[in-house]
């Protein structure tokens, strides 16, 4: 589902564990890492899209997470033209995302990627909260920073929050 400017409606998912580390997933067959994300289907609520994508991409079910918060506004990024399929270049520009922050209450063994060539991810790990923007592909970096900055006050007390804000500053 695209908006009038060519941005696909999308959700991003930041999963945090009890050590305040975030879930980081490797794209299937590539040396590229990111947070889970996915499109919102027509007629689907943002929250239902998040739960569907979470299960499809990570195997994590609703019972293993708790919603801590979400971004208040849409965050946008443009996809470089050379990464857009030629037939879509005239109308597709990038993603518009609402980001969810989830607390992971399950066991690491509950994280099971679907085993197929269409699977989004093939590996995962926990990383420090502020590391993700430095490890993601360049064109997503600003969105990762802004989403993490917006959601950081939910996770960190004020003394640690200032340090996180400095690390996430572009």
36, HSE (Cβ side, Cα atoms, 13 Å)? 30
**Residue of 107, 137, 106, 127 lying closest to 27 (CA atoms):** 137
The confidence band for 158, taking pLDDT boundaries of 50, 70 and 90, is confident
Q: Which CATH number fits domain 7-127: 3.10.20.30, 3.20.20.140, 3.90.79.10, 3.40.630.10?
A: 3.90.79.10
Q: Which two tokens stand for residue 9?
A: 């409606």
What pLDDT does residue 40 have? 97
Mind listing the pLDDT tens digit for each residue in 75-126?
999 999 999 998 988 899 999 999 999 999 999 998 988 777 678 999 999 9
What pLDDT does residue 147 have? 97
Q: Quick check: 151 and 99 in contact, CB under 8 A?
A: yes
């Amino acid at each position: 589902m695209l908006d009038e400017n060519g941005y696909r409606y999308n959700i991003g998912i930041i999963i945090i564990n009890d050590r305040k580390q975030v879930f980081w997933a490797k794209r299937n067959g590539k040396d590229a890492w990111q947070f889970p994300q996915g499109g919102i289907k027509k007629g689907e609520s943002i929250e239902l899209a998040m739960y569907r994508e979470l299960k499809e991409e990570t195997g994590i079910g609703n019972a293993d997470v708790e919603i801590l918060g979400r971004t208040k506004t849409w965050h946008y990024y443009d996809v470089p033209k050379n990464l857009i399929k030629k037939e879509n270049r005239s109308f597709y520009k990038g993603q518009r995302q609402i980001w969810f922050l989830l607390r992971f209450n399950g066991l690491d063994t509950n994280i099971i990627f679907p085993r197929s060539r269409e699977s989004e991810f093939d590996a995962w790990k926990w990383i420090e909260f502020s590391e993700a923007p430095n490890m993601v592909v360049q064109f997503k970096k600003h969105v990762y920073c802004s989403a993490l900055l917006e959601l950081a006050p939910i996770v960190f007390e004020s003394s640690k929050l200032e340090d996180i804000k400095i690390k996430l500053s572009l």
